Amino acid sequence: MTIPMKQIKLRRLKMSLTNPFTTSFGTLQEKEFFITEVFDDEGRRGFGESVAFTSPWYSEETVETNHHVMKDFLIGLLRENNINHPNDVLEVFKPIKRNHMAKAALEGAVWDLYAKQKRIPLAEALGGSRQEIDVGISIGIQPTVDDLLQTIDQHVREGYKRIKIKIKPGWDYDVLKEVRKHFPDTPIMADANSAYTLQDTEHLKKLDELGLMMIEQPLAHDDIADHAQLQAALATPVCLDESIHSLNDTRKAIELGSCKIINIKIGRVGGLSEAKRIHDYCREHSIDVWCGGMLEAGVGRAQNIALTTLPQFVLPGDTAGSALYWKKDIIKPEVTAANGIIAVPDKPGIGYEIDDEALESFTVSEETFPL
Ligand SMILES: O=C(O)CCC(=O)C1=CC=C[C@@H](O)[C@@H]1C(=O)O
Ligand SMILES: [Mg+2]
């Protein structure tokens, strides 16, 4: 049976981060993104969230390209095609190349509406069964090593299950060595956001002595082959983030031995259906996965939680509590992590209420389209 969908609203939001997030590309203080809202005839609303940033430093997509692609291409495809199950959205969007974050923003809303129509939690609709998930934290680049140590200390005390630290040439081995000295037993990983090349192999091999959980995306954002050479030289597991856009990329990376771990980000792979396919493939091939964050507001955060209930999400993800990012989130209740554990909501759909007042207060503009 077709999923009844009447209209869709694209809401552009602007929210200020409580803690500015610094990467090798600059500091993010304000986040702009879209909340998508699909309505059915009975007043139910399914919500999605776009995760691209305003500039294309993480991937080629931006808030503006998300808007263009949703408005001028994807919404038309949703209107012209019958969607019987949220998995169909992936197929319906196939004529449009890439633009995965735009696709995921709409597909997520269809998944939420579908689960609400079925009166089941999104986690259950996806096939997940965990009632709680372990989460870690991702710390942006800090001004000094002392600042970093203090920040880590705070989050270790809060009970987060692993600490992710950003590295780049000149801010890597020495810093991590210092961190390891102060936190000998804490699960620690490093995210390089593509800052190295194969020429750095000897230098990166020094990290092996630090017992890191993994090094995330050391080489180019569009590489899979060089990572295989690097993984062969390192004892530290390589985790791919930016390089993995699809199940096909996943298959190639596993076949080549490019990584031992995959970070699944719903937006980067084009939605929940593809994320689940990647998860299933990794499960069959005994590759550990975890759910990466994109500094999401409540809707995206709720989707990450639902996805993480699938069994192969055996490593803690980036999905920390709302308060670490926002003074006020757009969902009720906000996401909270107690001792590094988030309880998975058991209400239908994403499982959190939308705080309409908050949503309204962060809205910069909105447009509605018939479906
Ligand atoms: O959502 C979070 O907690 C932050 C996750 C995070 O580390 C990242 C988000 C977006 C871009 C990157 O800087 C980084 C990553 O590459 O994983
Ligand atoms: Mg990353």
What ipTM was predicted for this assembly?
0.97
Identify the pLDDT of residue 258. 98
Residues in the chain: 371
Range 110-119 average pLDDT: 98
Closest ligand to 241 CA? 2
Judged by DSSP in three states, 281 sits in helix
- d(C-alpha 134, C-alpha 340), whole Å: 6
| 14 pLDDT higher than 90 | yes
Task: Residues 124-343: name the CATH superfamily.
Answer: Enolase-like C-terminal domain (3.20.20.120)
| 23 pLDDT higher than 90 | no
- d(C-alpha 220, C-alpha 44), whole Å: 43
Q: Which of 295, 296, 308, 315 to mutate to test the pocket of ligand 1 (most atoms within 8 A of CB)?
A: 295
Q: From the CB of 191, is ligand 1 less than 6 Å away? A: yes
Question: Atom 10 (ligand 1): residue with closest C-alpha?
Answer: 294
- d(C-alpha 94, C-alpha 285), whole Å: 26
Kindly give, in sequence order, each residue whose CB lies less than 8 Å from that of residue 367, ignoring residues fewer than 6 positions away.
Answer: 9, 10, 71
What's the token pair of residue 73?
A: 């291409």
Question: Atom 16 (ligand 1): residue with closest C-alpha?
Answer: 193
Closest ligand to 53 CA? 1
pLDDT band at 1 (very low <50, low <70, confident <90, very high): confident
| 24 pLDDT higher than 80 | no
Q: Is 205 a catalytic residue?
A: no
φ, ψ for residue 41, nearest 5 deg: -70, -20
φ, ψ for residue 14, nearest 5 deg: -130, 125
Nearest to 18 by CA among 30, 27, 26: 30
Closest ligand to 140 CA? 1
Q: From ligand 2's centre to the CA of 190, what distance in Å?
A: 9
Identify the pLDDT of residue 180. 98
Identify the pLDDT of residue 26. 83
pLDDT band at 25 (very low <50, low <70, confident <90, very high): confident
Of the candidates 116, 161, 164, 265, the residue annotated as catalytic is 265
Binding-site residues from annotation for Mg(2+): 191, 216, 241
Residues of the chain with CATH 3.30.390.10: 7-119+353-370
27-31, 116-120, 259-263: which has the minimum mean pLDDT? 27-31
Range 28-51 average pLDDT: 97
pLDDT band at 40 (very low <50, low <70, confident <90, very high): very high
Burial class (CB in 10 A: 0-12, 13-18, 19+), 54: middle
Q: Does this model's pTM top 0.90?
A: yes
Range 153-167 average pLDDT: 96
Which atom number of ligand 1 is nearest to the Cα of residue 242?
16
Architecture of the domain defined by 7-119+353-370: 2-Layer Sandwich (3.30)
Residues of the chain with CATH 3.20.20.120: 124-343
11-25, 31-45, 298-312, 351-365: which has the minimum mean pLDDT? 11-25
Range 171-186 average pLDDT: 97
Q: Is 265 a catalytic residue?
A: yes
Average pLDDT, the chain: 97
Percent of the chain with pLDDT over 70: 100
Kindly give, in sequence order, each residue whose CB lies less than 8 Å from that of residue 102, ignoring residues fewer than 6 positions away.
Answer: 50, 52, 61, 65, 66, 69, 70, 74
Range 253-276 average pLDDT: 98
φ, ψ for residue 300, nearest 5 deg: -65, -40
Give pLDDT tens digits for 43-82: 999 999 999 999 999 999 999 999 999 999 999 999 999 9
- d(C-alpha 136, C-alpha 151), whole Å: 13
Give pLDDT tens digits for 280-298: 999 999 999 999 999 999 9
Which atom number of ligand 1 is nearest to the Cα of residue 325?
3
